[in-house]
Chain A
Amino acid sequence: MATGQPDERKTTYREAMREALREALRADERVFLMGEDVGRYGGCFGVSLGLLEEFGPERIRDTPLSESAFVGAGIGAALSGLRPIVEIMTVNFSLLALDQILNNAATLLHMSGGQLPVPLVIRMTTGAGRQLAAQHSHSLEGWYAHIPGIRVLAPATIEDARSMLAPALADPDPVLIFEHGSLYNAAGELAPLTAPVDLDHAATRRQGTDISLITYGGSLPKALAAADELAADGISAEVLDLRTLRPLDGEAIAASVARTHRAVVVDEAWRTGSLAAEISARIAEESLYELDAPVERVCSAEVPIPYARLLEQAALPQTADIVTAAHRAVD
């Protein structure tokens, strides 16, 4: 979509997301934003700041602290022809609405024999790294990626923050967008949008020949930093950003492994039963004979994320852990 600004310009992930919201609200009267503190407060992460003034309280709708009710209301409004964007402060709180997301949003189309698609977008933050302790720091997007009937997105770049919302709204089925809390302040140049982004394909963020670093969301900057360090050691790492966690782009994963013959999967969720486990299993099923080394996984320690800074950092996948894992695979 044309922005009237042909040149690249400096922006942040937060502002890019806000611009995507503003554009969606301008483009389609059926679109409205609803959630805790999205209006007067400007969004608890500042994403919706200023939208209330522009679009009014009907369309920038503050809700009570009632995750189940307002997510369910989003489902009902979607069934009735509107295009709600529901914001949940964090994935931790989304568990209060899990019944509505799983038993209704993801299920109604099938249960009704195809009669009731639910064109709903739910946005929420995920992830750790800001010393918010266990109940504000978990990465549960992999749980949602387990569920048939929904699409799960994890924009990791400013470009994806800017461009994934419109196709998510155009999808007739429920779409969950996970925004890693550590990304909001990420700043950079935003290229003008040229074509609608496709939500079915992973993106190769760095090309390489020796090893594939497969990741998404908040771990992408760490994987890119690890690739820089590995390059200094003479190892050429490819970085694959999954972008869409459901449906997974299995072809892109297999193609990357076929190029590099080694893989490190980086996932901020716990290792046991994680998306990293799913990706590893797929590589074992489809790419076993391409592998020159066992698949490595870099995940969070199996502990509720601690508050104490040192412990929190130790619990999370770090650049050094990715580098170490890559060396294990290559050396």
Chain B
Amino acid sequence: MSPAPGTRKRKTPTGTDAARAEHRRELLRAMLRIRRFEERCVELYSAAKIRGFVHLYIGEEAVAVGVNEALTADDAVVATYREHGHALARGIPAEAVMAEMYGKTTGCSGGRGGSMHLFDASRRFYGGNAIVAGGLPLAAGLALADRMRRQPRVTCCFFGDGAYAEGEFHETANLAALWKLPLLFVCENNLYAMGTAIERHEAQTDLALRSASYGMAAWAVDGMDVEAVERAARRAAESIRGGGGPHFLEMRTYRFRAHSMYDPDRYRDKDEIERWKARDPVTRLLDRTREDGELSERKLAGIERRITEEIDAAVEAAEQAPEEPVENLLRNVTSGFVEAM
């Protein structure tokens, strides 16, 4: 397996055909890996191997993958409860994510978090927040620390259109713009706050327009086009690193699946879902690479095979991993008094 994205400095595409082809294959691989991982989650959920609330990212992969291209290992990421994609794109091993879904000690949160609370301090991945908009103030604090220490790092916070109605978004946007924090707001506007369509929960549905009123750069992006996402995220991240203050990206995207595994999805027209599926970010990139002769069927099969092997291994490892003994129940409630001033 090649090094996971987010754990190394990424090469900027040089513009040469070969470099572009390689980069596109990498984007495709990263998106496919998230999709296949989640498709396996559906099977495992149905088999009662994983429990709890499981919110799938299928359809939105271009956002996590494209934005991650603009981030380095020094940057920080704050995500929501629909964060398998963000976690995998950030470089948390599939094995650690899968073990977390199983509630095993080898999970990336030691089995204490599950699907909605993936964490990896070593990769500066700060959740996994299952209170809508709850991660936003925390992201402002991570960015504040960088600003106070004059570190040219970016904190990227993912959240949905539902979070836009919460005061915490508006408090954080005000604070970030007021203090010129190096914060990248990535709003995944998938048009539904759980089951409520955006026109039923927002007075003004142009979220980039509203965000610009805080005095920060804000623009809307085709969230179904990974290359467009990457371009926008790079532009925003470079500006933030250069002292440009917070930026807001409204990613116009769509989830192909229901809100969660429990959701019967009665609130959306089948036609609407089919229209968006026609813009599937994986298929779109696949079509482009094929048109430009950048991906042979043999290479694609190879990519798929390696992903399958990786996920098989992750599932096998999660199956075999030990349960945490009940004696450890009260661990990690407090750290204990360990540091002296």
Which A residues have a C-beta under 8 Å from some C-beta of B?
A: 27-28, 32, 58, 63-64, 66, 68-82, 84, 99-100, 103-104, 108-117, 119, 148-149, 151, 166-167, 169-173, 199
With A and B bound together, what is the CA distance between A148 and B329 in angstroms?
13
Which residues from chain A contact B131 at a C-beta distance below 8 Å? Answer: 99, 103
- Say if the beta carbon of B231 comes within 8 Å of chain A: no
Contact between chains at B117 and A112 (CB < 8 Å) = yes
Q: Are the C-beta atoms of A73 and B140 separated by less than 8 Å? A: yes
List residues of chain B with CB within 8 A of the CB of A114.
110, 331-332, 335
CB<8 Å pairs between A and B, sample of 16:
A68-B167, A70-B137, A74-B141, A76-B126, A76-B137, A77-B142, A79-B142, A80-B142, A99-B168, A100-B137, A104-B134, A108-B127, A111-B117, A113-B109, A113-B112, A170-B341
Q: Which residues of B contact A (CB under 8 A)?
A: 76, 107-113, 117, 119-121, 126-129, 131, 134, 136-146, 148, 155, 167-168, 171-172, 174-175, 178, 331-341
Closest Cβ neighbor of A150 among chain B residues = B334
With A113-B107, A172-B335 given, name 9 new contacts (CB 8 A).
A58-B148, A73-B175, A111-B128, A112-B121, A112-B127, A113-B109, A113-B112, A117-B335, A171-B339
Smallest beta-carbon distance B149→chain A, Å: 8
* Interface contact A75-B109, CB-CB below 8 Å: no
Residues of B contacting A115 in the complex (Cβ-Cβ under 8 angstroms)? 109, 119-121
Contact A72 B136 (CB under 8 A): yes
User: How far, in Å, is B180 (CB) from chain A's closest CB?
Assistant: 12
- Count of chain A to chain B residue pairs whose CB atoms are closer than 8 Å in the complex: 159
Q: Which residues of A contact B136 (CB under 8 A)?
A: 69, 72
- Which of B113, B143, B144, B337 has a CB less than 8 Å from the CB of A113? B113
- Docked pose: A100 CA to B172 CA in angstroms: 13
When the two chains form their complex, are residues A63 and B126 in contact, meaning their CB atoms are under 8 A apart?
A: no
Asked whether B139 lies within 8 Å of A76 as measured between CB atoms, the reply is yes
Q: Complex Cα distance A22/B136, Å?
A: 30
Q: Which of B76, B129, B167 contacts A80 (CB 8 A)?
A: B76
Chain A residues with CB under 8 Å of B337's CB are: 167, 170-172, 199
Q: Which 4 A-B pairs have the closest CB atoms?
A: A76-B141, A72-B137, A113-B110, A80-B145
| Contact across chains for A72 and B168 when beta carbons are under 8 A apart | yes
Is A110 within 8 A of B112, CB to CB? Answer: yes
Q: Is the CB of A80 within 8 A of B146?
A: yes
Closest CB in chain B relative to A291 CB, distance in Å = 30
What's the nearest-Cβ distance from chain B to residue A235, in Å? 38
A27 nearest in chain B by CB position: B341
Question: Are the C-beta atoms of A113 and B126 separated by less than 8 Å?
Answer: no
Whether A112 lies near B341 (C-beta < 8 A) is no
How distant is A113 from chain B, measured CB to nearest CB, in Å?
2
State whether A116 and B174 are in contact (beta carbons under 8 Å apart), knowing that A77-B144, A110-B333, A172-B338 are contacts in the complex: no
CB distance from B339 to the nearest CB of A (A): 5
Residue in contact with A76 in the complex, picked from B144, B167, B335, B341, CB distance below 8 Å = B144
Given A113-B111, A172-B338: A69 in contact with B172 (beta carbons within 8 A): yes
Given A103-B134, A115-B109, A116-B126, A149 and B145 contact (CB-CB distance below 8 Å):
no
Q: Which residues does chain B contribute within 8 Å of A116, judged by CB atoms?
A: 119, 121, 126
Contact partner of B178 (CB less than 8 A), chosen from A64, A103, A172, is: A64
Complex CA gap A304/B109 in Å reads 42
A174 nearest in chain B by CB position = B334
Q: Bound complex: CA of A100 vs CA of B138, how far in Å?
A: 8
Task: Report the Cα distance A245→B22, complex, angstroms.
Answer: 59
Q: Which residues of B contact A110 (CB under 8 A)?
A: 112, 332-333
| CB < 8 Å neighbour of B137 from A58, A75, A81, A173 | A75
Other-chain residue from B108, B134, B171, B335 in contact with A173 (beta carbon distance below 8 A): B335
What distance in Å separates the Cβ of B168 from its nearest Cβ neighbour in chain A?
A: 5
Residues of A within 8 A of B146 (CB): 80
Please state if A64 and B141 are interface contacts (CB–CB under 8 Å).
no
Residues in A whose Cβ lies below 8 Å from that of B128: 111-112
Report the separation of the CA atoms of residues A171 and B167 in the bound assembly, to the nearest whole angstrom: 31
Contacts A100-B134, A112-B127 given; does A68 touch B120 at CB 8 Å: no
- Give complex CA distance A166, B131 in Å: 32
Does B140 lie within 8 Å of A76, measured CB to CB?
Answer: yes
With A110-B333, A172-B338 known as contacts, the answer to whether A69 contacts B117 (CB < 8 A) is: no
| Contact indicator B121/A66 (Cβ below 8 Å) | no
Which of A79, A113, A173 has the most CB atoms of chain B within a 10 A radius of its CB? A113
- Residues of chain B lying within 8 A (CB to CB) of residue A81: 145
Report how far A64 CA is from B64 CA in the complex, Å: 31
